[in-house]
Amino acid sequence: MKTMKKIASIALATIMVMSMMTGCGNEAAVDSSVADGSAAVESSVADEATGATFKIGGIGPITGGAAVYGQAVMNAAELAIAEINAAGGVNGVMFEMNFQDDEHDAEKSVNAYNVVKDWGAQMILGSVTSAPCIAVAQKTYEDNMFQITPSGTAVDCIQYDNAFRLCFSDPNQGAASAKYIGENGLAEKVAVIYDSSNAYSSGIYESFAAEAVNYDFEIVAAEAFTEDNNTDFSVQLQKAKDAEADLVFLPIYCKEAAPLLTQADGMGYAPKFFSCDGMDGILAMEGFDVALAEGVMLLTPFAADATDDMTVAFVTAYQEKYGDVPNQFAADAYDTVYAFKVAIEKAGVTPDMNVSDMCEALKAAMLEISIDGLTGNGITWTADGEPNKEPKAVIIENGAYKAM
Amino acid sequence: MKANSIKDKFTNLKANKPLRQDLITYAIVIFAYLLIRILDMAGMVNSQLNGLLVPICVYAILAVSLNLTVGILGELSLGHAGFMCVGAFTSAFFSKCMVEAIPLAIVRFPVAILIGAVCAGLFGVLIGIPVLRLKGDYLAIVTLAFGEIIKNIINTINIGRDSNGLHFSMKSAMDLGMEKDGVFLIKGAMGITGTPGDSNFTIGVILLLITLFVVLNMVRSRDGRAIMAIRDNVIAAESVGINITKYKLLTFAISAALAGMAGALYAHNLGSLTATPKTFGYNMSIMILVYVVLGGIGNIRGSMIAAIILYVLPEMLRGLQTYRMLIYAVVLIVMMIYNWAPKSIAWRETHSAKDLLAKVKGVVASKSKKGGN
Amino acid sequence: MEFIEFLINGVRLGSVYALIALGYTMVYGIAKMLNFAHGDVIMVGAFVVYTTCNTLGLPPVVGIVVAVVLCTLLGILIEKIAYKPLRGATSNLAVLITAIGVSYFLQNAALLIFGAAPKNFTSIVPYEGIQIAGGQITIDGETIVIIAVSIVIMIALTVFIKKTKAGQAMLAVSEDKGAAQLMGINVNGTISLTFAIGSALAAVAGMLFCSVYPGLSSTTGSMPGIKAFTAAVFGGIGSIPGAFIGGILLGVIENLSKAYISTQLSDAIVFSILIIVLLVKPTGLLGKNIQEKV
């Protein structure tokens, strides 16, 4: 009996190792043609083959609790790539993406990075969430591979010069929110409800609080919740209410915001609500009564029901293909792919270049390009990897965004 | 004299089955290590496999150390990730502080590992105390609670350093009141970023061998027999004068210290260390328990192999995209039923190993005739 | 006044835990296994109600019936496929691990079927809240219903086990499977029935949980599941009134520590109290003290 068990486990192990080895055997060829630019024979082969493509490695959570963000990024990036390829790519060179799951876990994210590296990725789109992105950025820095994260908001995500981001950073959003509230005199007493176990949320809260001292409103309550406790907000709301806050700042995602607004309504508490880009998507949330979001203000670079041609085209195409209304993660990913395209055009890189040379060229090009995307017009980048774009303040009126 | 005893051991090897088994276990690890190294030199190891090597060591160590508690002491622990968490954060904190003071990784990293192991071991003693009073599921829930407490508290810790020294706060990073030049060492939910990447496969394998050595020696020793006596019958063990308190605490402490070591290895492998439910919550504790149970409770080599297989499996299933975790769940259930169901065991007994070996040989032979793939 | 509001919210949260813990403790008491998939059956129940009521637009009553029936079937199916083969295995841990496998399976299946985007559950409770203390305190309809339902279920379960033949059979199976079989009790049938009832309770718990806390995604059930398990142990696992009291206490402690100590550390506080209680009373509040025989 024991032997049988052993045989089974050994067989399984062997199959696994074999599949790894065969996998690596196939990829070895790709690797050498990509990574080893000096191998003249191989690179010329790649040149002649019209099949040569720019390979983008995508990393993000497509299973588990954060899957909603990763899937949005994956879908929108696929959409953008399909569009670019349909329009002839960059000088006839097509794009190709391999998107790998990281389960919103730093370790799995690095595993995913290694998989796309074996596949021959020349640039990285990801990781979608902050902590995994930091871990991957360390590896891309070691390999000198060009990386743009569509949505990694933590400061450290782009601490190295090979990494850029498309979204706002946490400090950027927190400070902008405080500024907006202060300058427009929206409130005197402000309460903050944030997710202390989430880098995005706590990052925005910290910079918000730091900036708030410059304006004449007071933070009367700062109540946290954690990922394990994100269903019941009655205590936090009660405290905000007791502190007589006339505005509640919510640097959280719509996943938590929807039940929070429902509960606030249930307890008859109706302050002004102010939020950041994480709130976007709340109107499209299935089953959510949009009347509850009436009057909610948010700073967001993207609004799915904006009427400009680009947004309308994107939202229609996305809905046709995936059935959902795209959120800001999707918009960020879409713009990220275009940033790759524009940077590649600017730098004049070709698929046969090695990863490191390509990275150097793209890095330089990033500082010169400007793109008009879904999340802003004339987005430019600085050497520290941060984008320059204006957040738009919108207010929800009659179930739709309205510019403020 | 020492040489003599080794020689004695060698001559006794044939008679001494446990020792032979242990040596086989070490040999498997060393052989696997050499194999990977040779393949690596031949350029046959891709980045995916390369990236998996250190995590494999981490989870193998965790599984082996948990088996000490679950298999040898016979107490269900659902808080193993908590010890790993303690080890990871204390060692990473040390490394982050000392990265300038001790630039040499070869000096710094062993100290960091030691610190991680010792701190986790102390927590092991701490959690070992309730063990003395509780049994079964009540103990399980206490260990689970312990793991969640650790995770919860670490998520609120902020430590920063500036020209005025260290600052500590459990409220938020702003309350540290740091100067402009201050750097965050631990920043709440962001945890520790920028831990030096000192871990590598060689160190991982060395730590795995140390773990195996400690655990296997303990099992074969007088202490180990005492612990197993406690597992099998507490009252009987007590009546023959075995010190229950001592042995239970000892087991918990060692198991925790080894988990702390694994935590240190984990922390120095990644650029960002956060205490999320996924990394250090009960989910992870349960995952380690899965390795132990699938590998065979009390079977040290089994838990090592199960950890490797189950860690690599979801990576192998990547091609399935969104379906992979679903398939993983199915495979897990099937493997459990195959390994543990009384009917399956009976079936395996009736289909004797010899027949099967012959069959397998036949299959292999016919395959090789076809000239491989 | 503020305190009373916090207390009411705590009781509401506690009733949810109690409701889930009742299912947990029943399955544990009779089948002697920790059903880690229980939390995920809750999630399935909530999704079924969501699909029938929100997506298909049918009245809540239909949703409730469909959810209870489907979850009952699901519970029986899970038991048959994943747990039954392992009955009589040399270690109790084997079935625990399979339960975890089932839990992963349900979560990932839900992710594939219903998508990753979280849903906002619409309450199935049609009642308005009531106001007490001269309108200063509002107790919403969901709170009243959930407290009432968990009390009714607790009493019904106790009566069922004490007074009916099937209930007595369950008790016998939980005491000694072998002896029960010799007495002519259908052990497999009894355990199936236990899972059926447990899963039906999970469906009810799921829809009420989501009525109060409306966020619904594939991982909705896991944290309440583990908290309810804690509550069941707190009250003395296997004891039905114990699960109820443990649940309520857990909810109240959690809410009060959020309100007066720290919202971030509430879990740490809850779990610390749990450890202390278990140190003082190692078998939980209402657990039976079993004398060990030599």
Tracing tokens 């330089």 back to the chain, one arrives at A364
User: Crossing angle, helix C2-31 and helix C141-163, to 10 degrees?
Assistant: 30
- Whole-model pTM: value is 0.88
CA distance C23 to C199: 7
CA distance C170 to C185: 9
pLDDT at B3 over 60: no
List of chain C residues whose C-beta atoms are within 8 Å of the C-beta of residue A243: none
pLDDT at A360: 93
B174 to chain A, closest Cα gap in Å: 7
Instruction: Say whether residue C265 is in contact with chain B using an 8 A CB cutoff.
Output: yes
φ and ψ at residue B213, rounded to 5 degrees: -60, -50
Residue A304 vs residues A79, A315, A338, A402: alpha-carbon distances, Å: 16, 7, 18, 11
CA distance C152 to C132: 23
CA distance A55 to B104: 38
pLDDT at B177 over 90: no
Instruction: Say whether residue A238 is in contact with chain B using an 8 A CB cutoff.
Output: no
pLDDT at C215 over 50: yes
List of chain A residues whose C-beta atoms are within 8 Å of the C-beta of residue C223: 228-229, 231
Q: What is the mean pLDDT of chain C?
A: 88
- Tell me which architecture the domain covering C2-116+138-280 has in CATH: Orthogonal Bundle (1.10)
B227 to chain C, closest Cα gap in Å: 18
Cα angle B364-B368-B373, degrees, rounded to a multiple of 5: 110
Interface touch C5/A238, C-beta < 8 Å: yes
C265 to chain B, closest Cα gap in Å: 6
* Segments making up each domain of chain C, as ranges: 2-116+138-280
Amino acid of residue A354: N
Which tens digit of pLDDT belongs to each residue from A197-227? 888 888 889 889 888 989 989 999 888 888 8
pLDDT at A1: 45
Interface touch C97/B70, C-beta < 8 Å: no
For residue A297, give the nearest of A196, A177, A193 by alpha carbon: A177
Interface touch A229/C214, C-beta < 8 Å: no
Band of residue A44 on the pLDDT scale cut at 50, 70, 90: very low
Asked if A221 and C259 count as a contact pair (C-beta separation under 8 A), the reply is no
pLDDT at A5: 55
- Substitution target from C258, C265, C267 for chain A, most A beta carbons within 10 A: C258
What percent of chain C is modeled with pLDDT above 90?
Answer: 47
Q: Which of residues 221-280 of B touch C (CB under 8 A)?
A: 234-236
CA distance A371 to A343: 10
* pLDDT, mean of residues A277-282: 81
CA distance C34 to C24: 7
Sign of CA dihedral A232, A234, A240, A243: negative
Amino acid of residue B155: N
Hey, which chains touch A, using 3+ CB pairs under 8 Å?
Answer: B, C
What percent of chain A is modeled with pLDDT above 70?
Answer: 87
Interface touch B46/A156, C-beta < 8 Å: no
φ and ψ at residue C238, rounded to 5 degrees: 100, -20
pLDDT at B5: 59
pLDDT at C247: 94
Which tens digit of pLDDT belongs to each residue from A158-177? 989 999 999 888 888 888 89
Asked if C104 and C78 count as a contact pair (C-beta separation under 8 A), the reply is no
Instruction: Say whether residue C91 is in contact with chain B using an 8 A CB cutoff.
Output: yes
List of chain C residues whose C-beta atoms are within 8 Å of the C-beta of residue B135: 282
- Substitution target from A197, A206, A207, A219 for chain B, most B beta carbons within 10 A: A197
CA distance A49 to A281: 43
pLDDT at B1: 47
pLDDT at A369: 92
| Sequence-separated (6 or more) residues with CB below 8 Å from residue A160 | A137, A138, A140, A141
List of chain A residues whose C-beta atoms are within 8 Å of the C-beta of residue C120: 258-259, 262, 285-289
B188 to chain C, closest Cα gap in Å: 11
C252 to chain A, closest Cα gap in Å: 12
Residue C31 vs residues B285, C25, C87: alpha-carbon distances, Å: 24, 10, 9
Highest mean pLDDT among A301-315, A327-341, C133-147: A327-341
* Residue B5, Cβ density class (10 Å: 0-12 exposed, 13-18 middle, ≥19 buried): exposed
Interface touch A259/C140, C-beta < 8 Å: no
Minimal Cβ distance to B277: which of A114, A115, A227 = A227
Which tens digit of pLDDT belongs to each residue from B297-321? 889 999 999 999 999 998 988 888 7
Q: In the structure encoding, which two tokens stand for residue C193, read together?
A: 């029935």
For residue A3, give the nearest of B331, B310, C87, B345 by alpha carbon: B345
Band of residue C176 on the pLDDT scale cut at 50, 70, 90: confident
pLDDT at A16: 53
- Substitution target from C264, C265, C267, C270 for chain A, most A beta carbons within 10 A: C264
Q: What is the mean pLDDT of chain B?
A: 86
For chain A, the residues whose C-beta falls within 8 A of a C-beta of chain C are 62-65, 67-68, 70-71, 196-197, 223-226, 228-232, 234-236, 238-239, 242, 254-256, 258-259, 262-263, 266-268, 281, 285-289, 323-324
What residues does A247 pair with on adjacent strands? A190, A272
CA distance B251 to B124: 9
A308 vs A6: which has the higher pLDDT: A308
Does domain B46-155+191-362 match CATH 3.40.1350? Answer: no
A42 vs B179: which has the higher pLDDT: B179
pLDDT at B345 over 90: no
* Residue A362, Cβ density class (10 Å: 0-12 exposed, 13-18 middle, ≥19 buried): buried
Band of residue B12 on the pLDDT scale cut at 50, 70, 90: low
Residues of chain B with CATH 1.10.3470: 46-155+191-362
Report the C-alpha dihedral over residues B23, B26, B28, B34, rounded to 10 degrees: -130
Which tens digit of pLDDT belongs to each residue from C180-206? 989 899 999 999 999 999 999 999 999
Residue A197 vs residues B191, B192, C72: alpha-carbon distances, Å: 10, 13, 36
Asked if C176 and C43 count as a contact pair (C-beta separation under 8 A), the reply is no
What percent of chain A is modeled with pLDDT above 90?
Answer: 40
* Residue B153, Cβ density class (10 Å: 0-12 exposed, 13-18 middle, ≥19 buried): middle
C27 to chain B, closest Cα gap in Å: 14
Asked if A203 and A155 count as a contact pair (C-beta separation under 8 A), the reply is yes
pLDDT at B11 over 70: no
pLDDT at C130: 81
pLDDT at B366: 64
CA distance A211 to A190: 13
List of chain C residues whose C-beta atoms are within 8 Å of the C-beta of residue A289: 120, 122
* pLDDT, mean of residues C140-155: 91
Interface touch C111/B322, C-beta < 8 Å: yes
Amino acid of residue C64: I
CA distance C254 to C269: 8
pLDDT at B372: 40
Amino acid of residue A383: A
Minimal Cβ distance to B297: which of C86, C91, C275 = C91
Domains of chain A are 54-168+321-388 (3.40.50.2300), 171-300 (3.40.50.2300)
pLDDT at A13: 52
* pLDDT, mean of residues B30-49: 91
Instruction: Say whether residue C97 is in contact with chain B using an 8 A CB cutoff.
Output: yes
Band of residue A73 on the pLDDT scale cut at 50, 70, 90: very high
pLDDT at C250 over 90: yes
Tracing tokens 């309730």 back to the chain, one arrives at B130
Minimal Cβ distance to B318: which of A8, A71, A101 = A101
* pLDDT, mean of residues A141-156: 91
* pLDDT, mean of residues B281-305: 91
pLDDT at B8: 64
What residues does A163 pair with on adjacent strands? A147
A17 vs C18: which has the higher pLDDT: C18
CA distance A147 to A166: 11
DSSP string covering A363-389, please? HHHHTT--EEETTEEEEEE-TTS-EE-
Q: In the structure encoding, which two tokens stand for residue B208, read together?
A: 């795995």
List of chain A residues whose C-beta atoms are within 8 Å of the C-beta of residue C214: 258-259, 262, 287
A24 vs A355: which has the higher pLDDT: A355
Asked if A42 and A33 count as a contact pair (C-beta separation under 8 A), the reply is yes
* pLDDT, mean of residues C15-38: 88
CA distance C290 to C236: 12
pLDDT at B350 over 90: no
Instruction: Say whether residue C219 is in contact with chain B using an 8 A CB cutoff.
Output: no
C153 to chain A, closest Cα gap in Å: 23
Interface touch A258/C215, C-beta < 8 Å: yes
Interface touch A258/C120, C-beta < 8 Å: yes
Interface touch A138/B271, C-beta < 8 Å: yes
* pLDDT, mean of residues A71-78: 94
B370 vs B135: which has the higher pLDDT: B135
List of chain B residues whose C-beta atoms are within 8 Å of the C-beta of residue A12: 309
- Substitution target from A62, A101, A117 for chain B, most B beta carbons within 10 A: A101
Interface touch B43/A227, C-beta < 8 Å: no
List of chain B residues whose C-beta atoms are within 8 Å of the C-beta of residue C78: none
Hey, which chains touch C, using 3+ CB pairs under 8 Å?
Answer: A, B
Asked if A248 and A289 count as a contact pair (C-beta separation under 8 A), the reply is no
Instruction: Say whether residue A128 is in contact with chain B using an 8 A CB cutoff.
Output: no
Interface touch C104/B329, C-beta < 8 Å: yes
pLDDT at B363: 65
* pLDDT, mean of residues C258-276: 89
Q: How many residues does chain C have?
A: 294
List of chain A residues whose C-beta atoms are within 8 Å of the C-beta of residue B155: 196-197, 226
Interface touch B50/A156, C-beta < 8 Å: no
* pLDDT, mean of residues A81-93: 92
Three-class SS of residue B100?
Answer: coil
* pLDDT, mean of residues C159-165: 92
pLDDT at B356 over 70: no
SS in 3 state form for B111-150?
HHHHHHHHHHHHHHHHHHHHHCCCCHHHHHHHHHHHHHHH
Asked if A379 and A389 count as a contact pair (C-beta separation under 8 A), the reply is yes
Q: In the structure encoding, which two tokens stand for residue C73, read together?
A: 């079937």
Minimal Cβ distance to B278: which of A4, A103, A196 = A103
Minimal Cβ distance to B329: which of C105, C226, C272 = C105
Asked if B189 and A197 count as a contact pair (C-beta separation under 8 A), the reply is yes
List of chain B residues whose C-beta atoms are within 8 Å of the C-beta of residue C105: 326, 329-330, 333
pLDDT at B7: 62
